[in-house]
A and B are shown apart, each in its own frame.
Chain A
């Protein structure tokens, strides 16, 4: 071995393989930290002394490959090419071997002076994976050292192996064999490049591969040299290639091999085909050699996730399970919790009855007393009565999410979307709309195709959001007590679903779609939801809803009370609200709606949650303290009227925030108005069919 005094050794690896741990352990406090010239990437250099050798250890940026896609890749590649380190310490995560070996293969294309540090073997073993480091070394023809960086085990051996590598002339490392059709083209490119002086600066095979890929960095470098005028400028500082380079560069500004690339492109071999062929071959090579030195200990039995997924994702059982889960969620949230809502409603009435005498004692004006009792308490109380339902819905939503089932539901939903002619990603937007249509519409941003996006946006308001579900469940609980409530609620959701499917198919016909595509989804493991992950998001969502709704409800309650009170001394149906309802009676009449329903529908446009407060005020809930809104409404309309109202309410124009968001996201006033008109017409037609169909069937 020759005597070495100063050596440069580079530490290379994927991100998060423990490179910094190795670097810090080997260099201690002898480090210099800065940035790479002209880059924002951190540069770390340390020194290590070994007997008479002074080692400059450079921690190269973590990277997955050496293709010029990112700053990290370019820095690592350029360092290896330009600085020519005496050895490369390649750190490999044994628990993620495939991904890590891809980088190692790319390094071996640049230099054979590589030593592999096999880290995280303990993690690999715990997942049933045993790696024979000796065989790996034989296959790659480079030394492999087993290390546990976190404990400092094997680090000294790793560095020693790198020192040995630095002092020897290693045999040529293994090279990937590409398919014969590709190999032919590599050899042809090598033949073109070999006589050029430029090729002397790089490993020939690597340069040929990069030329075939039309590597952008090589092109940039060539252009920067070719555009210089003097011999000194043309010759890179790191190289002494003399006048020949200048002569060659001046003779042509075209990169060598361009004609050959054009020939290949004409036969269908563009740079992307080469890029893919090279990457594909490396992965195939890795999977072949891995079989030789990795043994997997099969797990004694399938994991819980595998077992559950066989059912949850089954084309046969998946959908019935999904429907059953959703039915349970809706039943518990919106039907079983109704008594809690009644309790709050009664509590608000009691509170109003307690407060009004106090106001009277304080000589507050009668109108103010009326506003507090029949305006604020009736309106706000009506909305508060469905807070338990909403909170429960959010608890279940968090439960499904935290358990991992929501992701499965989304996956099943994708198949359903495909059947409707929608993009699978539309599911996420539509599912989000069950919370609120505004974020649902914004979630369409993940859809690349503008037509997919537009259709999903237009379909979004057909999904009943939580405020709508809350109002619906309150009315359902009043008119369809007991198990009939669950049937009514599921029927309404069924109508919403069928309308959604038919609308999707209709819009697909009118808004022509171009192409279909799919995605690969990473499903999380199932696990038992924690209380924190369930209750905290549920509380945050409920609080967010109340905070958002409060201003609307309070303002709407005051406005509706004023409209229904003035002019003073007239009957309710002669008030401003009554007159407004009367003006719209011609729309409501075919559907069996009275003027109060029409006013509630109009005010629902401002925010859906105000509908219940409007109904509460117009039906005079607190005027009759012993009755809840349910009791007052059931005395005024039939169950058929109520069901027709619910269908219309569920499908008619979305709230103003949703309309504004649709306009902002679509950028089209025309499509926004089309959406509003479409919802109005569809809701009217379906409600009319239900009302008159019901009458014909004798449902009163």
Chain B
């Protein structure tokens, strides 16, 4: 129980540039771009004949793009038909689930090589429409009529965390500032600017238009100003991840065939998935995600590793508060203590536990169904030492964790990678 019956390796990974890609690119365009990027990064190449199945993670193409049935749609674009092609849905954890199911399928012996992907095209709808579609990942019967929006649910969680642990808006801001600093170094990110860059550009614009120059001393002043509007107290615009179009693609293979594709496979040594009641009001805790704790417990147990063994992690920062809660629920810090570690710089790229060096959902972007697969793309790059620009961490990454949360925390997938 709880062990993989065969070894499973990540042998190739890639993604398209994240951003407001519609209408220049739609789901099929982005998906093929991610596929080509992953093929290019597979050392010895990979062809459709090498692949047994096509797993696609997607949250809501039905509502965003009036298109269902993405499994065969994508498989047909790259010559994978008539092999099995399926779509997986678990809100923002959709491709995390696709990834896990592919790992299980390989470990079972059914398949040897699976193409795992995620894709989402959100900007085809206006922001109000996006907000409404995202809200269907929470409880539409009882939370939605009470006024819950997606940022609103995480803001509610933040209020409870503030009350219980004394967390502050400055603690949230530090997460956003750090993740934007990282995203600046990611050529695939939607927003490749630090918050300081954004602040200075605003000041330049105000100067150019002859307006009154704001007296912002630093990013914190800027983030507390009207230039960072409130969305759902205490969350402001810069506490929220982006609305993004994007796709990511992974090739995973059984241990005994992985060497065909690369001499340096990244081993998947732990996978876990957890759930929680869909409505936040039905859960025991408003300051912690039981789905994260359960997924992490399974993944740690499978890999034999402990939180202290993890050198670097990508965590699901759909909102700044979510990164703080994830760092606690994953066991990296005690409840209420993650904010101190963030303040001390421990989670920065040069810190003792770099978090979201990709830029996170905050800066890299959050095409919800593609996010889980995109986490694994960053793991592939960081563990091979090939992350672009100045984003590569300065030590050899042997053990990395990714954390993919769905909805307001009702689904979670945790994966542990080792060299």
Q: Do A and B come from one complex?
A: no
Residues of B within 8 A of A (CB): none
